[in-house]
Structures are given as C-alpha cells and as structure tokens.
C-alpha cells in the first residue's frame, strides 16, 4: 500500500464517521491554537521589551557603584560611594566615547499648593536628555549655565506635571523640593513605563544643585559622589572595546591592584537586551509547554478513538488480511488515520490560533498594548508537534490492528 493510497483510505474511513472524527480532532485543534496564541504573546512581549530598552537610547553603557569589601566583608552592590564626578569627566576623552552623562539620584518631597508627592529626583547635566532620547513637550531642557551656577530650576516628568498642574501650565510655576523653591522650566514628553522607576514619575534638576542643595552627596577621593555614569559609545560595534577601556580607566583611577575586584559595575545596553531576551524566551517556552499539555490530551483522545475503531473493524481487518493485505499494510492504514486526524486538527488549529492572536492584539496592558507576534517557526513547531502526537498515540492502535490473527478476526462478532 502506497502512502497516497493509505491517506485516501484514511480519509474515506474518517469521512464515514464525521462527527466522531471532528470531536476527536477538537483536542488537537485547541492544543495547536493554544500553542500558537500563547507563544505569539510571548514573542510579542519579547519584541516590546527590546523596543523599550532600545528606546532608552542607543549604544549605552551604564556605570554604577559595585561591591566594596570592608574588613574583608563584601558590602551590597551600590551601597558604597565609589563613583565621582571626576570619574565621569575622565571618561569623556576615552577613545570610542561619544557622550558622558553623570547622574545623582535622591528622593525628595515635592509640594505645590495642596499637592504633596514623594518623588525621585535626578541631578543631571544636559547630556542626560540626549543619551536617553528624551523630548520636551513644553518648555526647555536644562542648560550648561544651569549646572554651572547651581540654578534652582526643574524639568518635570509627564506624570508629575499632570498631578501637580492638572489644569494649568507648569512653565514658570514654582514648586518646593525638600522645602527649597524651584522654578519649572520644562515638561518631558511621556516616555511610558510603569512604577516608581518610570521617567514620567521623576523630576530633573541640575547636577550641581542636587549634590549641593537637595542632598549632600559627600566627597570620595576629593570629588562629589554621583549615583551613575551613562556613557554613549560611537557605535554598537565599539561597545565591547569601550567597556574594556572604561574598566581599565576606572581601575587605574581607583588604584585597584591586580586581583582586586572592581568597585564599580559595567552594564551595556546589549547586556540588557540579551538578558531580557533570555527571560522572555524562557517565558515563551514555558507558555508553549503549558499549551502543549492540551495537545497531549488530544493525542490520548486520538488513541482512544483508534482503539475503538480497531475493535469495530476487526472483521474488516481479517477480511483484508485474508485477501492478501500484509501486516505493514494494516499498520500503515491505521497509522495514516491517526496522522490524518492530528494533521487536519493541526491545520484548523493554526488558523484558529492566528485568529485568536489577531483578535487579542491591541488589548491594553499596563501603559501599553498587547501585540502578539506570529512567526513561521511557531506555526511549524505547532504543526510538527501535532503530527508527532498523532504518530505517537496512533502507533499502538496500529500495531494492535496489524497483529490480529485473520482467522480470529473473521470469527469476531
């Protein structure tokens, strides 16, 4: 029996019991649709996170305080003030470095009329807005003159401005940070993100004003302590070289000996993208594995129906063998029926899964929208798994049918 003949015979056998065949395929249809829908959601989440990281800026390297040992005991990363403003200035002239933006972070109580909020304040230089790809919706950015003079001016994140000035224009208004008056000179365009770490929920003031008036940053090696240094490389291909150059420069400035641990941490934007890709990739596989359970359940349904079919068609099997059908012909006949059930169910499930993905696209989630991404490898994987389920759960009924004794089969009532 050829493969085409086996498939034709299988199609005729399944067509003779349309309702039973459709109900049997239902488990496979639901399983394949679930795999495609859930994995497309995972892929969409991966794409969304990557785009958000890339929207932070391009070719960025983040330098933060690292682990420091006091009396041989390692302190928590970032707990010791190991980065200074002079460190940031020393990085500006390194090869491959385009822009350097020092940052000092502190908390503050912000008051305007009857509004009272606890916010995170960023002491920054004008370069910060450039490396983070930020735009002003109203007003102006901080200028070099503001940093040089320690001016009491502020740029508000979009959410902060909306809460403090729900109906009025913030520009030119005065707010109080830790009871110090600041004049609002700008409002950032919304950048998205949620939680306390979103730039929409922050206030930006000149770096010198933050370190000298809002919160004394202290001195380390004779320079003002800062919280972070953001470095923008000239190109993505230069990031590994720039990272090594920065590490060497800071180790030399901090007088670290060979064998000493770095007292700072270097994380590139590419590291963040790779880490997020690993996390979301694992999540996508986990979602696919959960959905695949329904495929296995569908496979059990196929095996159950095929065993029933073998019992019902025992006399037919005996007759086929009596007229010359070989063991492998019977095996191929029932195996092709199982594969046809799973294959047709898989094709219908693919269409249903794509439809579900399109249907849920655009549903609001947090500050964004759900954007599932259906790719060819997801469809191929779901179909392949569906066919594999048909083969795996169809092989036992097929072997059982092929093993029947023709004489006993013809006597079967």
Whole-angstrom Cα distance, residue 315 to residue 319? 6
Domain of residue 161 covers 81-262
Q: Is there a domain that residue 268 lies in? A: no
How confident is the model over 73-129, as pLDDT tens digits? 444 444 457 888 899 999 988 999 999 999 999 888 999 888 888 999 999 999 999
Q: Are residues 93 and 201 in the same domain?
A: yes
Same structural domain, 144 and 105 = yes
Q: Treating both helix axes as pointing N-terminal to C-terminal, what angle do 18-55 and 3-15 enclose, rounded to 10 degrees?
A: 110
pLDDT of residue 412: 57
The pLDDT value recorded for residue 411 is 62
In a domain, 67, yes or no: no
**At which of 198, 229, 262 does a domain end?**
262
Residues 257 and 327 in one domain: no
Please count the structural domains in the chain: 2
In whole angstroms, how far apart are CA 365 and each of 35, 52, 232, 368?
A: 21, 15, 31, 5
Q: Say yes or no: 287 and 258 in one domain.
A: no
pLDDT score at 368: 62
**Residues 88 and 225 grouped into a single domain:** yes
Question: Quick one: 199 and 252 in the same domain?
Answer: yes
The pLDDT-based confidence of 67 (bands split at 50, 70, 90) is low
Q: Is 59 inside any structural domain?
A: no
298-341 tens-digit pLDDT:
888 888 888 887 777 677 777 777 777 777 777 777 788 888 88
Tokens of 401: 């049918």
| Residue 182 within any structural domain of the chain | yes
- What backbone phi and psi angles, to 5 degrees, belong to 232? -105, 120
Residues 334 and 400 in one domain: yes
Rounded-to-integer distance, Cα 388 and Cα 143, Å: 64
pLDDT at 129: 92
Same domain as 213, residue 179: yes
CB 282 within 8 A of CB 99: no
Q: What is the mean pLDDT of residues 347-351?
A: 92
- Helix crossing, 18-55 with 327-360: angle to 10°? 50
Residue 46 · residue 280 · CB < 8 Å: yes
Contact 33, 352 (CB under 8 A): yes
Predicted confidence (pLDDT) per residue in 181-229, tens digit: 999 999 999 887 644 467 888 999 999 999 888 876 566 666 788 999 9
Q: Residue 141 in 3-state DSSP?
A: coil
User: pLDDT at position 193, please?
Assistant: 61
Q: In whole angstroms, what is the distance from residue 3 CA to residue 336 CA?
A: 8
Q: What is the mean pLDDT of residues 373-384?
A: 87
270 in a structural domain: no
Q: Are 242 and 61 in contact (CB under 8 A)?
A: yes
Does the pLDDT of residue 50 top 60, yes or no?
A: yes
Task: Please indicate, yes or no, whether residues 49 and 110 belong to a single structural domain of this protein.
Answer: no
- Establish if 110 belongs to a structural domain: yes
């Amino acid at each position: 029996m050829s493969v085409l003949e086996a498939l034709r015979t299988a199609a005729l056998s399944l067509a003779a019991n349309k309702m039973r065949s459709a109900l049997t395929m239902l488990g496979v249809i639901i399983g394949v649709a679930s795999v495609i829908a859930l994995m497309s959601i995972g892929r969409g989440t991966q794409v969304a996170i990557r785009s958000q990281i890339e929207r932070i800026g391009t070719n960025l390297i983040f330098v933060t305080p690292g682990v420091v040992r006091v009396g041989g005991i390692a302190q928590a990363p970032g707990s010791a003030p190991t980065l200074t403003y002079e460190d940031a200035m020393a990085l500006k002239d390194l090869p491959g470095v385009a822009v350097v933006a020092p940052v000092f972070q502190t908390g503050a109580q912000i008051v305007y009329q009857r509004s009272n909020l606890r916010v995170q304040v960023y002491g920054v230089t004008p370069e910060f807005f450039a490396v983070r790809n930020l735009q002003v919706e109203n007003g102006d950015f901080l200028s070099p003159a503001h940093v040089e003079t320690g001016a009491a001016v502020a740029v508000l994140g979009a959410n902060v401005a909306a809460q403090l000035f729900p109906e009025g224009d913030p520009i030119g208004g005065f707010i109080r940070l830790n009871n110090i008056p600041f004049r609002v000179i700008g409002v950032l365009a919304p950048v998205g993100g949620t939680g306390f770490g979103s730039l929409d929920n922050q206030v930006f003031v000149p770096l010198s004003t933050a370190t000298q008036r809002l919160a004394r940053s202290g001195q380390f090696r004779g320079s003002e302590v800062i919280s972070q240094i953001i470095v923008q490389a000239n190109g993505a291909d230069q990031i590994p070289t720039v990272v090594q150059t920065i590490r060497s420069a800071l180790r030399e400035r901090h007088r670290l000996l060979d064998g000493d641990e770095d007292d700072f941490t270097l994380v590139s934007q590419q590291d963040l993208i790779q880490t997020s890709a690993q996390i979301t990739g694992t999540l996508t596989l986990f979602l696919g594995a959960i959905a695949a359970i329904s495929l296995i359940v569908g496979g059990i349904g196929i095996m159950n129906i095929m065993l029933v079919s073998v019992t019902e068609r025992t006399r037919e099997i005996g007759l086929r063998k009596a007229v010359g059908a070989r063991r492998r012909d019977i095996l191929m006949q029932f195996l092709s029926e199982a594969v046809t059930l799973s294959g047709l169910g898989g094709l219908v499930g693919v269409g249903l899964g794509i439809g579900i993905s399109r249907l849920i696209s655009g549903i609001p989630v947090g500050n964004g929208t759900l954007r599932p991404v259906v790719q060819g490898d997801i469809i191929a994987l779901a179909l392949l798994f569906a066919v594999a389920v048909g083969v795996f759960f169809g092989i036992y009924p097929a072997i059982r049918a092929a093993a029947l004794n023709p004489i006993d089969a013809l006597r079967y009532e």
